[in-house]
Amino acid sequence: MGNRNNVTVFILLGLSQNKNVEILCFILFSFCYVAIWMGNLLIMISITCSPLINQPMYFFLNCLSLSDLSYTSTVTPKLLIDLLAERKTISYSNCMTQLFILHFLGGIEIFILTGMAYDRYVAICRPLHYTVIMSRQRCNTIITACCTGAFLHSASQFLLTIFLPFCGPNEIDHYFCDVYPLLKLACTDTYRIGVLVIVDSGLIALLAFVILMASYFLILYTIRAYPAESRAKALSTCSSHVTVVILFFAPVLFIYIRPATTLPEDKVFALFYTIIAPMFNPLIYTLRNMEMKDAMKKIWFRHLFLEGK
């Protein structure tokens, strides 16, 4: 424990050492961050201010948008500042705080996506019991379970890292604090801790992904006998969910399901679940969803019309 205090500040190597590339990334990710805020706020306001909030699917989507917004805000503002900074640093305490919050919000996102898949499974495979099974009380219980599971996951990642001794070097080859880059800097044998990280992060993500894919397989199997119109609507909804799942889970599994090593590609893959997925989620869920588009038109057109008067 005493050796840990030898490092009080970490240096983040960031995405690139080329200043021109960093400026280009700053411009690109600034637009992405604005789009994330606008898209997710648009979804949250449209759902909250319309009857859609009473439907379980949109209740979960509202929670997912809040999770996306919070998740990306844990990383992106610091990334944008560092892209213009000569020296990218983060204190030891801020690094551990970022790690905890990042895994907490990431865990919530994984579990909410699983909850949304369960909601679609019940809606399509057990439609007569849907309103009873997916009551508001059940939805609140699912969200509470998501937060509890995410907290336990994040706390375990935090505890695995907080007791590591860091006695130099202090350069993190990443743009945020994560477990694997920190394990690489620890001046002790981290093999067992690396295995625990795989079990805690990698296998949880893999299990959630398998459950999600299995639920959608059952849905596709069930709707094969549906009328063409109902089948098209179910396919549209499920394809949106599957797109989000793949966009988020593919890079997560690439990073966390393997042994505790860091690769240069990790930073690129991490961009997908910290910036790209939160930016595309609103587009995926609105452009392919007629109910969302109708709700947005009614709310925002009515607002503009009343303002015009």
CA distance 165 to 240: 44
What one-character DSSP code corresponds to residue 10? E
Nearest to 241 by CA among 106, 60, 32: 60
What one-character DSSP code corresponds to residue 276? I
Residue 123 has pLDDT above 60, yes or no: yes
- Whole-number pLDDT of residue 105: 95
- The CATH number linked to 193 is 1.20.1070.10
CA distance 45 to 61: 12
- Whole-number pLDDT of residue 305: 54
* Percent of the chain at pLDDT exceeding 70: 94
CA distance 59 to 47: 8
85 compared with 231, residue with greater pLDDT: 85
CA distance 95 to 172: 10
Query: What Å distances lie between residue 63 and 6, 10, 112, 172, CA to CA?
Result: 41, 33, 8, 32
- Whole-number pLDDT of residue 306: 54
**pTM (two decimals):** 0.89
Interior/surface letters 23-57, b for 16+ CB within 10 angstroms, e for the rest: eebbeebeebbebbbebbebbbbbbeebebbebbb
Q: Identify the band that residue 274 occupies on the pLDDT scale cut at 50, 70 and 90.
A: very high
Query: What Å distances lie between residue 213 and 113, 123, 243, 270, CA to CA?
Result: 11, 16, 11, 22
Query: Does residue 177 lie in a domain region?
Result: yes
pLDDT in tens, 25-81: 999 999 999 999 999 998 898 888 888 889 998 999 999 999 999 999 999 999 999
Query: Does residue 97 lie in a domain region?
Result: yes
Residue 230 has pLDDT above 90, yes or no: no
Residue 122 has pLDDT above 80, yes or no: yes
Q: Where is mean pLDDT largest: 88-102, 117-131, 182-196?
A: 88-102
Residue 111 has pLDDT above 60, yes or no: yes
Query: Does residue 7 lie in a domain region?
Result: no
Query: Does residue 44 lie in a domain region?
Result: yes
- Whole-number pLDDT of residue 5: 56
Query: Would you say the C-alpha torsion 56, 60, 62, 63 has a positive or negative sign?
Result: positive
Nearest to 13 by CA among 167, 175, 140: 175
CA distance 163 to 160: 7
CA distance 144 to 19: 44
Range of the domain at 137: 16-308
Could you tell me which residues are beta bridge partners of residue 52? none
Query: Does residue 175 lie in a domain region?
Result: yes
- Whole-number pLDDT of residue 81: 95
If one counts the domains in the chain, the total is: 1
- Whole-number pLDDT of residue 126: 87
